Structure 1
């Protein structure tokens, strides 16, 4: 039986309640009986889904939105100190709780699986949540993206397992105490918070140190950053490696593309096991193997979990088909780091070998563009043609000299056909002028580029 409400979270107020991480925690608290309220900069389908659960969602940020009897105020690292609701909380003496602490409280008393890594967290968390649900395990879960509908990023389940995406970007994953932890890969990212790979490795080491006694670390045997992390560990945590490397504990023997699916064969406990992954690409197949290894570490039989993983058919913004018009398919990709961009473009090449791939790319964060703009441009060389928008700032202020031109120059140097587009309103017409029947169009990035998919489809249909 899942536990009830954490102490002092019976009347929480969320600042930025529409965000992927925040909305999931709000949803679980509401399902556990809390009186939840919050605010967000704009209305959204996620906000509407929360209202359907009885959550009060205010639009905009104002001190008056915070009720005097709120038991706590939940914030993410993106909330600035001058937020009027945060200031009001200080005046009223209402405790302020970081979202990671709120999530950790929700996992207390359960058997948590925390999914970490620079890339692939949302997909792997989703795979586990869907597979365990298909097996009737009734897990709770908190994911950084929606499965099949707005608000489907989280659920309060009646079972004992809690699957959570563990975010390293602000070191908030140090809060969790998982029974099983997954580390998919370790790369330098989030440059505003990490100055070097040494800092990244130290942060992941701290996360590993949070695994409960008797718990298990599931970690990639292929990714060099993950292998280096494994070498640095003191051996006090049971470690299960997975991948194609000869020394992997769960060895990937083959990944065979089958259209938009893959057939995966692994060697587990000395015996082969074959199952289907219902999304394309080798990296998604490896995510599924990580999910399999984690579930087995928690005691779920591999023979049951492997076929159940086929129930996962994708998560919004992770190579999500938005629609087709005039013979052109429009697909949405959340990829915003060069490794992710390369993986998604290679997956689409594998799934649709004869199609032209056209990309609408929106760089995310000035700091990331400054550090990885060259590599982003090189990744775009895998597409047949790309349109590059201005940098999406998210939580950052502009950095002098850092623009999408850094990416465009690198892409052209790599031989890519790339065009700068400074006004997003011009994108649908530009795509319509380029696309031909049989082409694939990817809207790519972590910002609001996702909103362009329906507008591109509408223009193509005319």
Structure 2
């Protein structure tokens, strides 16, 4: 058996290996010496990166891609039961392992930090990965996005710390046993899996209950859902709870967030002492993510002043207010925001970073179920922009829902006084935005789907 690899993971086959969560686990296993194979729907830079590490990556899904001697088949909740490789696995009696179980097996024997919450997981996990690496602690990490510096979403480190983004969407975060768990916020989302806030709270309570004895829950002191969860956890558990935020009762108190263009300066009060450091992305919510990372590191015994300095080395995550470029005096920035709270936070951050600029948004709704439940709130968020273009819904893993279209968002946005245009042909967006934009404007491509592809195309049209 290869060192550091569970026996079931020696020859894994990943269905959907190019996905953000799946590819990270595949990378770590490859770096540990496993014989990794898998398939994905289309060619990508991620597929090439995995091949460069030694993995076998097939394009398209077919029964023949699955080797007879595979030790397991790894799937995410997005893989449908009729996938030909999954059907073939059943015929060969090859064990099927959920992505979360695979990730949990990689954390065994290490000091795990699991980062959860409806928003901000990728950023906070990334901040920790960068800071711990800067301190030469050589962590392993698995993140739902690529770090702007190293340009990867996962790595196997020789140190004792494993930092992982913990996904609540399908309850899979309940599989982990962290020493430190972070909960950034608790809101209703993932409507295909959760019918109510009570179900959300129960799921997060179970996650918090998996913290190892003498472990720590780091949780927001300002966000209502997190405050409710804190009360529930304190009533049921002996886990140490550390709160952070602007509340006067917070254990790690955010004293001040000062905008510095596209960065922020953050001052916190920790153990009665003031500590100031820089965050490389604008906006109060990103500053709070950094403070959560600081509190988690301190819970592991890392000196606060060392960690604060190292957090200043974080340079961002792809798609989290990532500057794609500038042309004709117009900056184009990419945002992964797809929930109304995230949209509002990113739009407010951009307003604060460049208060004199016009803000133009290209928004692509993500999932029919999310649009059905939150379309009105998405439209209200777009009222923060000077003008918006709204695309058709990106379906991802979902089938259409009758009557649910982008019009739900557009109607709500117009009711809130927003200047909104519906564009059904994505290919027409770059020219339309280039015609609208003037020197000094900011253009924000926003959404969790393929709207990110439009940034470079908009820049090309602005340059021509």
TM-score (norm 1): 0.99
Distance 1:3 1:340 in 2: 41
- CA contact under 8 A between 1:49 and 1:150: conserved in structure 2? no
Partner of 2:416: 414
Partner of 1:203: 203
In the TM superposition, structure 1's runs of 4+ consecutive aligned residues that sit over 2 Å from their partners are 148-151
SS in 2 for 1:125: helix
- Once the two structures are superposed, what CA deviation does each residue of 1:254-301 show, in whole Å capped at 9, x if it has no partner? 001111111111110111111111111000000000000000001111
Distance 1:392 1:151 in 2: 25
1:446 is aligned, of 445, 448, 454, to: 448
Distance 1:376 1:8 in 2: 43
Distance 2:452 2:365 in 1: 12
- CA contact under 8 A between 2:149 and 2:316: conserved in structure 1? no
SS in 2 for 1:280: coil
- Once the two structures are superposed, what CA deviation does each residue of 1:373-420 show, in whole Å capped at 9, x if it has no partner? 000000000000000000000000000110000000000000000000
- CA contact under 8 A between 2:391 and 2:423: conserved in structure 1? yes
Partner of 2:107: 107
Moved more, 289-298 or 226-235: 226-235
- Superposed, 1:378-417 pairs within 5 Å as 378-417=380-419
CA separation of 1:308/1:150 partners in 2, compared to 1, >3 Å: closer, same or farther? Answer: closer
Displacement, 1:236? 1.2
- CA contact under 8 A between 2:3 and 2:33: conserved in structure 1? no
Stretches of structure 1 lacking an aligned partner (at least 5 in a row): none
Partner of 1:16: 16
Distance 2:209 2:163 in 1: 18
SS in 1 for 2:202: helix
Partner of 2:338: 336
Stretches of structure 2 lacking an aligned partner (at least 5 in a row): none
Partner of 1:276: 278
Displacement, 1:3? 6.4
Displacement, 1:232? 1.1
- Superposed, 1:32-111 pairs within 5 Å as 32-111=32-111
Distance 1:191 1:291 in 2: 28
Distance 1:414 1:8 in 2: 54
Distance 1:232 1:435 in 2: 49
SS in 2 for 1:218: strand
- CA contact under 8 A between 2:337 and 2:446: conserved in structure 1? yes
Partner of 1:133: 133
- CA contact under 8 A between 1:145 and 1:315: conserved in structure 2? yes
Distance 1:333 1:350 in 2: 16
SS in 1 for 2:289: helix
- Superposed, 1:185-204 pairs within 5 Å as 185-204=185-204
Distance 2:417 2:71 in 1: 57
- Superposed, 1:299-448 pairs within 5 Å as 299-448=301-450
Distance 2:455 2:290 in 1: 27
CA separation of 1:320/1:389 partners in 2, compared to 1, >3 Å: closer, same or farther? Answer: same
SS in 2 for 1:105: helix
Residues paired across the two proteins, number = 461
Displacement, 1:151? 6.1
